[in-house]
Chain A
Amino acid sequence: MSNGTSGFEEILLEVRDLVVVYDGIRALQGVSFTVLKGEIVTLIGANGAGKTSILRAISGLVPYQGAILFEERDLKRVPAHRIVGLGIAQVPEGRGIFGSLTVLENLRLATWQRADKGELEADYDRVFQIFPRLRERQHQAGGTLSGGEQQMLAVARALMSRGRLMLLDEPSMGLSPRLVQDIFRVIEEINRTGVTILLVEQNANMALRIASRAYVLETGSVMLSGTGRELLGDPRVKEAYLGA
């Protein structure tokens, strides 16, 4: 373990001894980590390591043991649909676009918990500025978008909820190298506007480059952690995740 710091101080999200069990199989066996306000934290790990399970637990989609605290508030008893209202947005694995809803409807749905519906127009404008492609396709059904456009929509949708923490599950999956770069640039941009990021990625190389800190997950446990730079240089990470 490393004691590297990233210059952020206030804890936004704290995960303590998280255990997730599916049909008797322990997918997470006591995972602990923190995300500080303003950071980009990345979780890397092989297929089946438990990355998605962590994000599902945070968003309340699966039951868990252990504790998850967001802004010091215990999320255990908060129903899933209230969690986004508290300020945690998720871009789920596989994007989760509602194919029969238009682009605009997908965006609108994500604002369900927002009280300030009067500011929706301004927010549509903001996300369309980030993703001009979506503006052109706002009346198109989500299911007819290309994979890359769906990924943009998934990120845009998460922005619409105006969360302070954004969870992203493999946003680069299935995208061309060019689009991967674009998406990572957007993630950094979003982070600069004050949104804290928890990023799950297979693309360890790029994820570690933009991350302030990172955790390496293996079969349901945290094996390594440190700053993005430290882990990029770590021989174990190089061998297992960077293909060096």
Chain B
Amino acid sequence: MSEGIVYWLQQVLNALQLGSIYALIALGYTMVYGILTMINFAHGDVFMVGAFFCFLAAVYLGLPFVPTLLLTMLGAALLGVMIERLAYKPLRHAPRVSAIITALGVGIFLENFTLALAPYPKNIPMLLENVTWNLGGVSLSSLQLIIILLSLGLMFLLDFVVHRTPVGMAMRAISWDKTFVPLMGVPVDLIISITFAIGAGLAGAAGTMYGLAYPVIDPYMGIMVGWKAFISAVVGGIGNIRGAMIGAYILGGVEIMVAAFLPSTYRDFVAFTLLLLLLIVRPYGILGSPRIQKV
């Protein structure tokens, strides 16, 4: 292969890895928005706590990769449900801005709570033997492959749950209009909890994978990654699950390409400018559409 193509393929692989992590987090933003029309600004910090759960499971419990991943997802899911029950549910009928402030507050709480327990950055140990293959000049690491495939697997699973199971049906019904959902016999609060659990569980998975790819973790790591995942969700069309995935891979791609061709300090500036332009052209995001106003 020519050097140019090799270089490109390498960047595409890197973009897929980064995009996969953004996608797992973006799904949580979009699912919660879909069901409650609320932006869960604490979600990036749930991702961060997920990375710390991964650290705890790997270091203090000495667990191997798969149990660490599962335990992290479970812990993050419980955290997501707790946040919803304790902080958001009491405000469900309060003005929108109260919910936003609460979400920001929960995020700051999580950051500082973690900071209090872990004042110094932590190192996540190598949980997987990392092999690097050379495919005609393009190098692919086993970690990269696992991150990409696992993320895709989780996304397919989620897509299946949302589109093919009764719980997913109930989620879509609530996201359309939850007024009459109880008339169907569907317990709305339970479905909301399940939504938070799934969204946070995916963020936990993202925390684990991010921790393996970039092993130094700190309490503020969720802020920037969270914003980027949120922007991915908006670019894809907030509330739309497939949109969040597409938006995340686009953002991952743009970031990697900018970093590859321009000074690294340009990365976020150029990436965000492109995304703003995209939103000017498509204000509802790539797959989003203005909902017909219902009376």
Contact = CB atoms under 8 A, between A and B. Distances in A.
Contact of A59 (B183, B188, B292): B183
B172 interface: yes
Interface string A87-114: 0011010101011110001001111111
Contact of B172 (A83, A96, A101): A101
B172 A84 contact: no
B136 interface: no
Given A81-B188, A94-B295, A61 B173 contact: no
A101 B183 CA distance: 16
Contact of B185 (A96, A105, A112, A143): A112
A109 B176 contact: no
Report the interface size class on chain A. Answer: 20 to 34
Interface of A (DSSP majority class)? loop
Nearest to B183: A90
A92 B180 contact: yes
- Residue from the set A61, A83, A108, A109 with the largest chain B CB neighbour count within 10 Å: A109
B182 A108 contact: no
Contacts of B186: 81, 109, 112
A187 B112 CA distance: 61
Contacts of B175: 100
B46 to A, nearest CB: 27
- Residue from the set B177, B182, B292, B295 with the largest chain A CB neighbour count within 10 Å: B182
Contact of B173 (A59, A60, A98): A98
A172 interface: no
B258 to A, nearest CB: 36
B179 interface: yes
A90 B180 CA distance: 9
A110 B176 contact: no
A27 B142 CA distance: 66
A157 B183 CA distance: 10
Interface in B135-186: 166, 169-170, 172-173, 175-177, 179-186
Contact of B184 (A61, A100, A110): A110
Nearest to A94: B295
A11 B175 CA distance: 38
B174 to A, nearest CB: 9
Interface string A147-177: 0000000000100010000000000000000
Interface residues of B, number: 20
B185 A100 contact: no
A109 B187 contact: no
A79 interface: yes
A108 B166 contact: yes
Nearest to B175: A100
Given A81-B188, A113-B185, A161-B185, A96 B180 contact: yes
Interface string A112-133: 1110000000000000000000
A26 B188 CA distance: 27
Nearest to A113: B185
B176 A108 contact: no
A100 B172 contact: yes
Interface string B248-280: 000000000000000000000000000000000
B184 A101 contact: no
Contacts of B179: 61, 92, 96
Contacts of B180: 92, 96
Nearest to A90: B183
A183 interface: no
A80 interface: yes
A85 interface: yes
Contacts of A89: 183
B173 A92 contact: no
Nearest to A92: B180
B275 to A, nearest CB: 26
29 contacts: A60-B182, A79-B182, A81-B186, A84-B184, A89-B183, A90-B183, A96-B180, A98-B172, A98-B177, A99-B176, A100-B172, A100-B175, A100-B176, A101-B169, A101-B172, A101-B176, A108-B169, A109-B170, A109-B173, A109-B184, A109-B186, A110-B185, A111-B185, A112-B184, A112-B186, A113-B185, A157-B184, A161-B184, A161-B185
